A and B are shown apart, each in its own frame.
Chain A
Amino acid sequence: MIRHLLILFVLAAGCFAGVGCSQYEFNDPTSARVTMIHDQSADPPPAPAQTPKTLP
């Protein structure tokens, strides 16, 4: 009885290890991440210098 349980335990452990290894190996890490450091493209152009209005 104990021998059968041991065999079952070893088989189950082997299956888990196999599945775990295959998932680890076929997990594709291909990816990219963008970190924006500086972005002025959306800023409006600088406003023209205002000339002082003279009152009549």
Chain B
Amino acid sequence: MTFSATFLETIVYGALIWCGISALGLGALLVRDIARGESW
């Protein structure tokens, strides 16, 4: 039994998109913290 090409494609593209969203999310979170004076 082997992993299918579709499965591999899903996890590869899924991981790359997930990373992109994470970077945007961290940036947005910092802007919010700075605006509230809660960054550190």
A binds B: no
